[in-house]
Amino acid sequence: MTLSYEEICNLLGLDRNKDKEAADYILNIPNHGNSLLNILRSHSGKEFFVIGNGPPVHDLSSIYGKGIIVVADSAIWKIKRPYVPEIIVTDLDGDTDRILELSDSGSIVFVHAHGDNMQKIKEIAKNFKGHFIPTNQIPEYPGNFGGFTDGDRAAYISDYLGASKIVLVDFDFSIQHGKPWNERKQIKLNIAKRLLEELGEENRQKLIGL
């Protein structure tokens, strides 16, 4: 059974009106999102590696060049210079200076709007100078590619872009690596796991590592 936006709002006590306000705001910031999506669609049929913020158990250098690298923003610290990932998925809760640096170097960034990050969007999104793809979590809105947290949303975006296979790297749903644990964070991890399971059910041969 699909986990709906309404159920997620109820689980986390999200303010739907603030979510919508943030979505409306980011969608109205001038951006080159459609052009950037067209660039990314050229990767359709390739293998996508989605890097999560679980404990680092994989040598990422071993997968560079083997497919498209998609990084959730809390895992950006794992990407060592001079490597530049193709895609970053962020709600601006990570190292935004590093994300902007990678954006300037060629990474395409999906910037997510939700009710709690409106101020960050106002402060930071302009620094991308239009070179970002706006995303949100409002059903039926443009820019809602599926997923909820950066990690599972990155997998849904990979599916949208036509990945032949989606490999989850360093995903751990029992611990939020590098951040203090609390019950709310665990609920988010549980949501991410369930949404990825749903994606895996739809694409049994495509999602690897769950």
Q: Within the chain, what is the greatest distance between any pair of CA atoms?
A: 44
Q: Is the pLDDT of residue 203 over 80?
A: no
- Facing residues of 166 across strands? 48, 207
pLDDT tens string 71-91:
999 999 999 989 999 999 999
User: What is the predicted pLDDT for the residue at 157?
Assistant: 98
Mean pLDDT of the chain: 93
Under the banding of pLDDT at 50, 70 and 90, the label for residue 177 is low
Give mean pLDDT, residues 104-111.
97
pLDDT digits (tens, 9 = 90+) for 182-200: 888 899 999 999 999 999 9
What does the pLDDT look like over 22-64, one tens digit per residue?
999 999 999 999 999 999 999 999 999 999 988 887 789 899 9
The answer to whether 155 touches 199, Cβ cutoff 8 Å, is yes
Its domain, for residue 162, covers 5-208
Q: Lay out the sheet containing 133-136: strands in order across.
A: 133-136, 108-113, 87-90, 68-72, 47-51, 165-169, 207-208
Give the chain's domain count.
Answer: 1
d(CA 117, CA 8): 17
Q: Is the distance from CB of 53 to CB of 74 less than 8 angstroms?
A: yes
* End-to-end Cα distance, the chain: 18
- 8 Å CB contact between 67 and 48: yes
On the question of pLDDT at 181 being above 80, the answer is no
Cβ atoms of 69 and 63 within 8 Å: the answer is yes
- Name the pTM for this structure: 0.95
The predicted model gives 62-70 an average pLDDT of: 93
At 84, which helix (H) or strand (E)?
Answer: none
- Strand (E) positions, 8-160? 47-51, 68-72, 87-90, 108-113, 133-136
Mean pLDDT, range 165-172, rounded to an integer: 94
pLDDT at 1 over 70: no
Model confidence at 97: pLDDT above 90: yes
Higher pLDDT pick, 204 / 25? 25
Question: Which string of DSSP letters, residue by residue, matches 162-202?
Answer: T-SEEEEES--SS--TTS---HHHHHHHHHHHHHHHHHHHH
- CATH label of the domain that carries residue 59: 3.90.1480
Question: Is pLDDT of 179 > 70?
Answer: no
